[in-house]
Chain A
Amino acid sequence: MRGALTLCLLLLAATLAALMLGPVRLSPALLWQGLSSGEGPGALVLGTIRGPRVLTALGAGAVLGLSGALFQALFRNPLAAPDIMGFTAGAGLTIIAAIALGLTLPPPLLAAGGGLVAALLVVLLSQRRGHATPPLTMILVGLGIGFIASALSSFLLTLLPHPQAAEAQRWLTGSLAARDWTHVAQVWLIGAALTALALAQLRRLAALELGEDLAAGLGLRVGRARLALAGTAVLLAAAGVAVAGPVPFIALMSGPLGARLTGAQRLQGRMLSAAGTGALVLVVADLAARAALPGIQLPAGVMTGLLGAPYLLWRLSREMEKGEL
Chain B
Amino acid sequence: MTLDMHTGLRDRPHGGLTAERLSLGYAERPVISELSLDLPRGAMTAILGPNGCGKSTLLRAMARLLAPSAGRVLLDGEDIHRRDTRALARELAILPQSPIAPEGITVADLVKRGRTPWRGLFTPWRGEDATACAEALAAVQMTEFAERPLGELSGGQRQRAWIALVLAQAAPLLLLDEPTTYLDLVHQIDVLALLRRRNREAGLTVVSVLHDLNLAARFSDRLVLLGRDGLIATGTPWEVLTPANLQTAFGLAARVDPDPVTGTPMIIPL
Interface assignment of B86: CB less than 8 Å from any CB of chain A: yes
Interface assignment of B114: CB less than 8 Å from any CB of chain A: yes
Could you name 11 residue pairs across A and B whose Cβ atoms are closer than 8 Å? A76-B102, A200-B121, A200-B122, A204-B116, A206-B116, A213-B60, A214-B96, A216-B85, A217-B65, A219-B87, A219-B89
- Of A200, A203, A214, the residue contacting B94 (CB under 8 A) is A214
From 173 to 208 in chain A, residues with beta carbon under 8 angstroms from any chain B beta carbon are 200, 203-204, 206-207
Interface assignment of B169: CB less than 8 Å from any CB of chain A: yes
Interface assignment of A266: CB less than 8 Å from any CB of chain B: yes
A188 CA to B65 CA in the complex, in Å?
41
A301 CA to B101 CA in the complex, in Å?
35
Whether A219 contacts B65 in the complex (CB less than 8 A), given A209-B100, A214-B96, A266-B109, comes out as no
B-side interface residues toward A, CB under 8 Å?
26, 60, 63-65, 85-90, 92-96, 98-102, 104-106, 109-110, 113-114, 116-117, 119, 121-122, 149, 165-166, 169
B85 A221 Cβ-Cβ under 8 A: yes
- Of A214, A216, A266, the residue contacting B64 (CB under 8 A) is A216
A52 CA to B110 CA in the complex, in Å?
42
Q: A265 to chain B: which residues have CB within 8 Å?
A: 104-106, 109, 149
A216 B100 Cβ-Cβ under 8 A: no
- Of B88, B116, B169, the residue contacting A203 (CB under 8 A) is B116
Interface assignment of A16: CB less than 8 Å from any CB of chain B: no
Q: A266 to chain B: which residues have CB within 8 Å?
A: 109
B100 A210 Cβ-Cβ under 8 A: yes
A73 CA to B103 CA in the complex, in Å?
10
Interface assignment of A218: CB less than 8 Å from any CB of chain B: yes
- Of A130, A207, A211, A219, the residue contacting B98 (CB under 8 A) is A211
Instruction: Please give the number of chain A residues whose Cβ is less than 8 angstroms from any Cβ of chain B in the complex.
Output: 22
B117 A211 Cβ-Cβ under 8 A: no
Q: B89 to chain A: which residues have CB within 8 Å?
A: 217-219
What is the chain A residue whose CB lies nearest that of B64? A216
A207 B96 Cβ-Cβ under 8 A: no
A207 CA to B102 CA in the complex, in Å?
10
Chain A min CB distance to B163 (Å) = 12
A187 CA to B94 CA in the complex, in Å?
42
Interface of B: prevailing SS:
mixed
A219 CA to B99 CA in the complex, in Å?
15
Chain A min CB distance to B239 (Å) = 30
A210 CA to B112 CA in the complex, in Å?
12
Interface assignment of A220: CB less than 8 Å from any CB of chain B: yes
Q: B110 to chain A: which residues have CB within 8 Å?
A: 210
Whether A213 contacts B119 in the complex (CB less than 8 A), given A207-B113, A221-B85, comes out as no
B90 A214 Cβ-Cβ under 8 A: no
Chain A min CB distance to B100 (Å) = 4
Q: A213 to chain B: which residues have CB within 8 Å?
A: 60, 65, 94, 96, 99
What is the chain A residue whose CB lies nearest that of B116? A218
Q: A207 to chain B: which residues have CB within 8 Å?
A: 113, 116
A266 CA to B109 CA in the complex, in Å?
7
What is the chain B residue whose CB lies nearest that of A213? B96
Q: B98 to chain A: which residues have CB within 8 Å?
A: 211
What is the chain B residue whose CB lies nearest that of A211? B100
- Of B26, B85, B93, B166, the residue contacting A220 (CB under 8 A) is B85
What is the chain A residue whose CB lies nearest that of B93? A217
A211 B96 Cβ-Cβ under 8 A: yes
A209 B88 Cβ-Cβ under 8 A: no
A51 CA to B109 CA in the complex, in Å?
40
Q: A204-B116, A218-B116, A266-B109 are in contact. List 15 more A-B contacts (CB 8 A).
A: A73-B102, A200-B121, A206-B116, A213-B94, A213-B96, A214-B99, A214-B100, A216-B64, A217-B63, A217-B92, A217-B96, A218-B89, A219-B117, A220-B116, A265-B104
Q: B92 to chain A: which residues have CB within 8 Å?
A: 217
Chain A min CB distance to B188 (Å) = 21
A216 B65 Cβ-Cβ under 8 A: yes
- CB-defined interface of A253-293 with B at 8 Å, one 1/0 digit per residue? 00000000000011100000000000000000000000000
What is the chain A residue whose CB lies nearest that of B106? A265
Q: B102 to chain A: which residues have CB within 8 Å?
A: 73, 76, 209-210, 267
A219 B60 Cβ-Cβ under 8 A: no
Chain A min CB distance to B64 (Å) = 7
A200 CA to B95 CA in the complex, in Å?
26
What is the chain A residue whose CB lies nearest that of B177? A213
- Of B26, B104, B113, the residue contacting A210 (CB under 8 A) is B113
A220 CA to B87 CA in the complex, in Å?
10
